[in-house]
Amino acid sequence: MINRGYYGKFGGAFMPEILTATVDELVKAFEAAKNDPSFWKEYMYIMSTYSCRPTPITFAENLTRHFGGARIYIKREDLNHTGAHKVNNVMGQGLLVKRMGKTRVIAETGAGQHGVATATMAAKYGFKCTIYMGEVDVARQRPNVFWMERLGAEVVPVRKGTRILKDAINEAFRDWVTSMDDTHYVLGTACGPHPFPEMVSYFQSIIGKEARRQILEQKGKLPVRVYACVGGGSNAMGIFSGFFNDPVELVGVEAGGKGLDSGRHAARLASKKGSVGVAQGYKTYFLQDSDGQMKETYSVAAGLDYVGVSPILASLREEGRIRFEATTDREVLDAFSLTIEKEGLVPALESAHAFAQAFKEISDLSKDDIVLINQSGRGDKDIFTIADAFADQNWRKFIKKKAEEYRA
């Protein structure tokens, strides 16, 4: 392997030897695809006819009036097929799988959005599909488990470790070291060993390319700030990459969970608790103890509940190019309520982190300014979590009645 995918001091490829040849093959296939103009054309065709690209940007007029600060625009990744930005990466990797002649795909999933997207792609392209999902996430994202299974995927609940996203990634790697001859691992975020951070960011860059063009077309100027939530970092890399060369402040928002002092969060870059380590195939900031053992993370949003973060984002933070913040579960639920009431938009709890941080800061900006928020996904999947958070009595009644019916 010649280029080992370093971004500053982060990234690399720390893998068992058995995977080296497979990853080399993937690097080759990805490089060939990047240099083949027909590949991007094919990708754009599938994204515009099967998903909903270009996704629009929406002017949030009522929220703008409510805060009385900058004009708020929202990039609508929730309008993608399968309801989140995850499909951008998945369809791209699916095309690569076809090129490599493999017949089975595996993936990890936290919130279930990446799992649903992968199962969808597998159904369309005729691949066998296995999804690894932490047992905790299986319980809190049941609607997505249902859809993955309807789509023909096998969903394997991971009962090892902390039973969330990082453990699902470990299990997917354990499958891959056995099955790589016919199987591709569709890693869902801009993490893991090279070339995944680069490859996932490449496919997600479509978000930023569109958003920049759209805001210039509509408003004739750039936003002053762009907000995105950061779990592994794929939607953030996607939208931020459109503005890397512009005088635009980029704000990544991590899961503050119960608060940074509670120890129950997933703020690897926004808190002082993160430190550099090597796990899951790459070097980045992790939430780990002084021995290097990974800590348990927590967030109301399963998709942000992850111990590491994209090495590209870690490097951009060190360069001072991206500011990182964290918002608590409580702030996120408030932002979610406000957004649904004022705009009729239903952000995923992950995406609602970006909204919450923007809302905190927006009144300080001038009315002439524009801010852009990435709504990376829609909140339908969170129906159980949100119903609980708001103690929705009618929902509870309905579930009880449904349970009675099933018991009969």
Indicate which residues carry an active-site annotation.
86, 108, 376
The least distance separating other proteins from the CB of residue 293, rounded to whole angstroms, comes to: 4
**The only residue of 5, 10, 22, 268 in contact with other proteins, by rule CB under 8 A:** 22
The least distance separating other proteins from the CB of residue 81, rounded to whole angstroms, comes to: 32
Using the minimum distance from each CB to other proteins, give the nearer residue, 18 or 399.
18
The least distance separating other proteins from the CB of residue 131, rounded to whole angstroms, comes to: 18
Contacts of 117 (CB under 8 A, 6+ apart): 82, 84, 86, 87, 89, 90, 188
**The only residue of 218, 262, 293, 363 in contact with other proteins, by rule CB under 8 A:** 293
Other CB atoms within a 10 A radius of the CB of residue 391 amount to: 8
β-pair partners for 277: 284
Using the minimum distance from each CB to other proteins, give the nearer residue, 8 or 56.
8
Question: Which candidate, 304, 361, 359, places its Cα nearest to that of 331?
Answer: 359
In the DSSP assignment, the letter for residue 380 is G
Using the minimum distance from each CB to other proteins, give the nearer residue, 4 or 150.
4
Establish if 20 lies at the interface with other proteins (CB under 8 A).
yes
CA angle 365, 324, 6 (to 5 degrees): 135
The count of residues in the chain is 408
The least distance separating other proteins from the CB of residue 66, rounded to whole angstroms, comes to: 44
**The only residue of 274, 281, 311, 347 in contact with other proteins, by rule CB under 8 A:** 281
DSSP 294-323: BPP---SSGGG--S---HHHHHHHHTTSEE
**The only residue of 17, 261, 368, 404 in contact with other proteins, by rule CB under 8 A:** 17
Binding footprint of other proteins, residue count (CB under 8 A): 37
249-278: contacts with other proteins (CB under 8 A): 275-278
The least distance separating other proteins from the CB of residue 23, rounded to whole angstroms, comes to: 10
Using the minimum distance from each CB to other proteins, give the nearer residue, 14 or 40.
14
Establish if 39 lies at the interface with other proteins (CB under 8 A).
no
Other CB atoms within a 10 A radius of the CB of residue 261 amount to: 9
β-pair partners for 275: 286
In the DSSP assignment, the letter for residue 78 is G
The least distance separating other proteins from the CB of residue 2, rounded to whole angstroms, comes to: 10
**The only residue of 35, 38, 245, 291 in contact with other proteins, by rule CB under 8 A:** 291
Q: What is the distance of C-alpha 389 from the center of its chain?
A: 22
Strands 370-375 and 225-229, sheet pairing: parallel
Using the minimum distance from each CB to other proteins, give the nearer residue, 172 or 372.
172
**The only residue of 163, 166, 212, 268 in contact with other proteins, by rule CB under 8 A:** 166
β-pair partners for 255: 266, 327
Using the minimum distance from each CB to other proteins, give the nearer residue, 143 or 263.
263
| CA 303 – CA 367 distance, rounded (Å) | 33
Strands 57-59 and 10-11, sheet pairing: unpaired
| CA 326 – CA 359 distance, rounded (Å) | 13
**The only residue of 41, 146, 292, 390 in contact with other proteins, by rule CB under 8 A:** 292
Using the minimum distance from each CB to other proteins, give the nearer residue, 181 or 368.
181
The least distance separating other proteins from the CB of residue 392, rounded to whole angstroms, comes to: 37
Establish if 28 lies at the interface with other proteins (CB under 8 A).
no
Establish if 280 lies at the interface with other proteins (CB under 8 A).
yes
Query: Order of strands across the sheet with 225-229?
Result: 57-59, 71-76, 370-375, 225-229, 249-257, 322-328
| CA 374 – CA 354 distance, rounded (Å) | 7
176-235: contacts with other proteins (CB under 8 A): 177-181
| CA 274 – CA 308 distance, rounded (Å) | 9
105-164: contacts with other proteins (CB under 8 A): 160-161
Footprint on this chain of other proteins (rule: CB under 8 A) = 1, 4, 12-18, 20-22, 160-161, 166, 170, 173-174, 177-181, 275-281, 283, 288, 290-294
